[in-house]
Amino acid sequence: MLSSVSAGQPYNKLYKKYFPKGAGSIFTFELKGSAQEAREFTEKLKLFSLLANVADVKSLVIHPASTTHSQLNEQELLEQVSSRTLSDCPSARAYRRYHYDLEQAF
């Protein structure tokens, strides 16, 4: 089993407990354009739901600037995440259609 949390790291024991078969993939990328365009991109996706709990059994996408990091002021946001950053987590079921959905959203 490949582990994304190596044996010497503090969360290794929890990782093995909650993900005995390994964890799913989370892809993070930054779009060109504005924060508004990043948000609109998430709304065009058909297979992914816009939710904050990535690494679920569903195909999910998150726009941190408007969800998990929305309470930050502009300076704090710049220090932590771009307003154009998106993270997505394709479910195993939808993985074959993953690229199609991203392409049609562009």
Is the pTM here over 0.85, yes or no? no
Asked if 67 contacts 52 with a C-beta cutoff of 8 angstroms, the reply is yes
Nearest residue to 88 (alpha-carbon basis) of 49, 50, 61, 59: 61
For the segment 56-68, what is each residue's pLDDT rounded down to a tens digit? Answer: 566 777 888 888 8
Four-residue CA torsion sign, 75, 79, 82, 87: negative
Q: What is the pLDDT of residue 7?
A: 66
For the segment 71-100, what is each residue's pLDDT rounded down to a tens digit? Answer: 888 888 888 888 888 877 766 555 567 777
pLDDT tier, 54 (very low <50, low <70, confident <90, very high otherwise): low
**d(Cα 22, Cα 36) in Å, to the nearest integer?**
34
**Residue 89 CB neighbour total at 10 angstroms:** 22
In the chain, DSSP finds a helix count (H) and a strand count (E) of 4, 4
Mean residue pLDDT of the chain comes to: 76
Nearest residue to 58 (alpha-carbon basis) of 92, 87, 18: 92
